[in-house]
């Protein structure tokens, strides 16, 4: 079995499901795939989400973060277990990882050697084997390979920073040079001109639709390819504008929109479409976890692997439903908005985060050591309006989370 994974980076799920979308290929793909509309990523930033996608391990297992009844202290050191790519490469697969001329998962290739592979920087090469190579050449290389794993990232769905000129024009500004001007325009437009901003996002999604179609068409003569089209995390922008106040950081940068230190479920929302030879299409019920991605790929490849927290999804694909299971997400360092999200199988959720995030340029030097705790009942309160941390249920969930986080630090039974 060969594999092509296509990540629609930071896809806004509202636009993906909007009747105003212009995505004929993706719409048709839903009908002929194992479609997971209710998925959950591992992180709300690509630097963190890619961790579980590649390792199948909960982050807590391989870093020194701490969760106590006083709050959450993010990691200062960490390491990366053996990755899906390394398993496949060891089995003789050709690896094609790239995002056009950018890094796999945008900043992930730069982030991996600095944090997760600090003492093994050479391992980071696996995340960007085709740097500087366009999609056409990658597809040509794939056509010449008998055994391959390709992981491509499409940035057109991200914020929409790939539409810099149109984005800045919404705010009456010239094209931005980069951060923070582009972020300012995106965040401000989301609040002040939401309809025009949403239309701009949908145009990016329409462009992605055409690119995904080209990738499928370029490999249409192969009957041995599993395709996975997915989003690595969601987006927030104006989701909480009516329930949580936004503030100006002093430099007209709106804090509280866009993915950052806000570990609410909308930021972890993702979708997955699996097209697997011999597996009939169906729409999956329940929550599909990205932590299960590596084990599923290795199962399809017929390869054994060491311990992973993730479980193969093939059994669930046959039954059409995912069982209710725990799911966690933990961001790496202050610069990515340090926080933790732990959702128990019964729907009770703990988050620990900084209640007053600092401006981005100050986070690295002044991020507080501990974050507060909050608890939500996702079944009764799916939009996370009511913090029940002080209730009997809330205190019990905090006790569970502290104990479970400690258990994750223990050496796994391999």
Break the chain into its structural domains and give their ranges: 2-323
Best CA proximity match to 201, nearest among 142, 160, 258: 160
pLDDT at 369 over 60: no
pLDDT at 246 over 90: no
Selected residue with higher pLDDT from 53 and 258: 53
The values of phi and psi at residue 412, to 5°, are: -65, 150
Average pLDDT of the chain? Answer: 84
What pLDDT, on the 0 to 100 scale, is given for residue 233? 85
What's the pLDDT band for 37 if we cut at 50, 70, 90?
Answer: very high
194-218 and 24-31 helices, crossing angle to 10°:
60
Selected residue with higher pLDDT from 351 and 259: 351
Q: Do residues 6 and 152 touch, judged by C-beta distance below 8 A?
A: yes
Computed over its alpha carbons, how large is the radius of gyration of the chain? 20
Query: Which fold would CATH assign to domain 2-323?
Result: Alkaline Phosphatase, subunit A (3.40.720)
Best CA proximity match to 15, nearest among 159, 229, 215, 228: 159
What pLDDT, on the 0 to 100 scale, is given for residue 189? 84
Query: Tens of pLDDT along 167-212?
Result: 899 989 888 877 777 777 887 888 788 899 889 989 999 999 999 9
Could you tell me the sign of the dihedral formed by the alpha carbons of 176, 207, 240, 44, in that order?
Answer: negative
Query: Tens of pLDDT along 143-177?
Result: 999 999 999 888 888 877 778 889 899 989 888 87
pTM: 0.91
Query: What average pLDDT does the segment 373-398 reach?
Result: 93
């Amino acid at each position: 079995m060969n594999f092509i994974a296509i990540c629609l980076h930071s896809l806004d799920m509202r636009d993906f499901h909007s009747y105003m979308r212009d995505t004929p290929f993706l719409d048709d793909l839903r009908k002929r795939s194992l479609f997971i509309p209710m998925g959950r990523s591992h992180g709300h930033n690509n630097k963190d989400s890619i961790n579980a996608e590649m390792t199948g391990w909960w982050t807590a297992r391989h870093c020194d973060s701490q969760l106590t009844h006083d709050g959450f202290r993010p990691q200062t050191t960490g390491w990366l277990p053996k990755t899906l790519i390394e398993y496949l490469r060891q089995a003789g697969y050709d690896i094609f990882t790239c995002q056009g001329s950018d890094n796999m998962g945008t900043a992930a290739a730069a982030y991996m050697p600095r944090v997760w592979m600090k003492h093994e920087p050479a391992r980071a090469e696996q995340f960007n084997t085709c740097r500087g190579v366009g999609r056409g050449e990658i597809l040509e290389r794939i056509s010449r390979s008998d055994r391959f794993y390709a992981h491509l990232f499409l940035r057109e769905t991200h914020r929409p920073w790939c539409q810099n000129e149109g984005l800045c024009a919404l705010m009456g500004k010239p094209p931005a040079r980069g951060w923070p001007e582009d972020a300012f325009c995106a965040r401000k437009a989301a609040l002040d001109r939401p309809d025009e901003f949403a239309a701009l996002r949908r145009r990016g999604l329409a462009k992605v639709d055409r690119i995904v179609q080209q990738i499928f068409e370029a490999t249409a003569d192969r009957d041995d390819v599993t395709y996975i089209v997915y989003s690595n995390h969601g987006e927030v922008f104006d989701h909480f504008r009516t329930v949580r106040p936004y503030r100006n950081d002093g430099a007209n940068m709106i804090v509280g929109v866009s993915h950052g230190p806000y570990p609410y479920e909308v930021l972890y929302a993702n979708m997955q479409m699996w097209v697997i030879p011999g597996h009939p299409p169906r729409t999956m019920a329940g929550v599909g976890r990205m932590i299960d991605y590596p084990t599923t790929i290795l199962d399809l490849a017929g390869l054994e692997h060491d311990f992973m927290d993730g479980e193969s999804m093939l059994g669930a694909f046959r039954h059409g439903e995912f069982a209710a299971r725990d799911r966690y997400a933990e961001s790496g360092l202050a610069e990515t908005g340090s926080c933790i999200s732990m959702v128990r199988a019964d729907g009770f959720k703990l988050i620990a985060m900084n209640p007053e995030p600092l401006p981005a340029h100050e986070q690295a030097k002044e991020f507080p050591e501990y974050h507060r705790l909050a608890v939500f009942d996702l079944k009764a309160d799916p939009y996370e309006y009511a913090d029940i941390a002080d209730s009997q249920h809330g205190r019990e969930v905090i006790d569970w989370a502290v104990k479970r986080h400690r258990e994750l630090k223990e050496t796994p039974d391999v």
